[in-house]
Each structure stands twice: as structure tokens, then as C-alpha cells.
Amino acid sequence: MALAAAAARGTRIVIVLLTDGEASHPSSVRFDRDALARVRRRELSQALAHLCPGKSVTVHRLGLPDGTSRPSDIGPHTMERVVTLAAAAGASAIWTTWAGDPHCDHQTAAALCRHVALRLGVPHFAFPVWGRFGKSHPPAHLFRFHDTRFLDCKHAAVACYRSQTGELIADDPGGFIMPPAFLDHFANHSEIFIREYPE
């Protein structure tokens, strides 16, 4: 919803994909890593059409390894590339996954974006994904966002990710499938943002 609200305000949106999500179904024959990466990019494009109708959203791919990335994988060239992209877009804020999330890719993205925000001197907001279900105390600078005007487009965007709900890939029973209860939670509950910088 926050992305849809930003688009509705006319905010320029630039997305940097850390990975292509290509490792979620490693045993699938029908969808090898390249095919799954294409599926995920198509799903993102479809979701953005619902969240940002009529808006041009630029998407850059970094191509880091899905499911195994580490902050140390971000070399100086990649770091400078993202800083340059954000500066060229006139970024006034950086949004990313949260460093406290129990997922290596989310932690890597958080480390990268914290560096970008510090370099540009712009606010950095992080959103917990799996970390929102943890038992740790919430950070001091936590904000909730829920605007029912954008709920329908959020539901439509979530529905685009058929590769993660078991509707599309049926030949890898060990592959990732979003549990229905989690899917419902993400689709209907408030979005959570943590102000990482400035603290």
C-alpha cells in the first residue's frame, strides 16, 4: 500500500532488485533458474501495474545469488552503481527490507541501502518481512501504514505472485510456498516501517 500511495502522490519510484528469486524451486524441471527468474520479473511487472497504474517504474537488477547472498558480496562496483542510480533518480528516501529479518538476502539488501542512504544523506526506512513475526521488542522508530484506499490494488498485486503460492509450479514439492495464513496477513494487515537513518 505504501508503494501505491507514493505512486498516487506522483513520487518517482526506482526499484533495485538484489536477486531474481531464482532459487525458490531448485528441483523444478519445468522451471529452471533462468525460467523462474523470468517468471518472477513478469510477476513484478504485473504487480507494479496494479500498484502504480499509468506510472513508469524503473527496475534495475543486481543479479546477486538468490538465497545465499551476504553483505560481503556487495563489491565497491555494485555499491557505487546503486549510489549513482539513487543519486540520478533524485532519491529523497530509501526503502528496503530490514536488517533484523531472518533471511540473508533481506539482510544484504538492508546493508546495501543503509550505505546508500548514508552516502546521500537521505532517510532510510526498513520493512520487516519475516521479522515482523518475531518475539523481539519493536524498535523505537516504528511506523505503521494502512490506507484502505489502496487495499484492492494491493490484493491484486499479491495475487500476481503465483510462483510463490503453489498455483504455478507443481513439480517441486520442496520448493517455497507462502503459507496461506501468512499470505492473508501480508495482504490485509498494516505495513510496518522502521526508520533506520537518521535514528
Residue 41 CB coordination number (10 Å): 16
CA 51/CA 57 separation, integer angstroms: 10
pLDDT band at 138 (very low <50, low <70, confident <90, very high): low
The whole-angstrom distance between residue 3's C-alpha and the CA centroid of its chain comes to: 11
pLDDT of residue 42: 97
CA 172/CA 34 separation, integer angstroms: 16
pLDDT of residue 199: 74
Q: Any idea what the CATH number is for the domain that residue 94 is in?
A: 3.40.50.10320
Contacts 24+ apart (CB under 8 A), 114-122: 114/196, 114/197, 115/79, 115/83, 116/79, 116/82, 116/83, 116/86, 116/91, 117/196, 117/197, 118/197, 119/83, 120/83, 120/86, 120/87, 120/91, 120/94, 122/86, 122/91, 122/92, 122/93, 122/94
- Asked whether residue 107 carries a pLDDT value surpassing 70, the answer given is yes
Higher-pLDDT residue of 199 and 56 is: 56
Q: Which residues contact 133 (CB under 8 A, 6 or more apart)?
A: none
For the segment 135-139, the average pLDDT, to the nearest whole number, is: 67
For the segment 43-65, the average pLDDT, to the nearest whole number, is: 96
pLDDT band at 137 (very low <50, low <70, confident <90, very high): low
pLDDT band at 150 (very low <50, low <70, confident <90, very high): very high
Global pTM reads 0.92
pLDDT of residue 136: 66
For the segment 153-165, the average pLDDT, to the nearest whole number, is: 95
For the segment 107-132, the average pLDDT, to the nearest whole number, is: 95
* Residue 142 β-bridge partners: 194
pLDDT of residue 87: 97
pLDDT of residue 134: 78
CA 168/CA 38 separation, integer angstroms: 13
Tell me what the pLDDT averaged over the chain comes to.
Answer: 94
Question: Where in the sequence is the domain holding 181, given as residue range(s)?
Answer: 2-197
For the segment 100-106, the average pLDDT, to the nearest whole number, is: 94
Q: Which of 78-87, 117-126, 138-147 has the lowest mean pLDDT?
A: 138-147
pLDDT of residue 85: 96
The count of structural domains within the chain is 1
Q: Which three cell numbers stand for residue 139?
A: 524498535
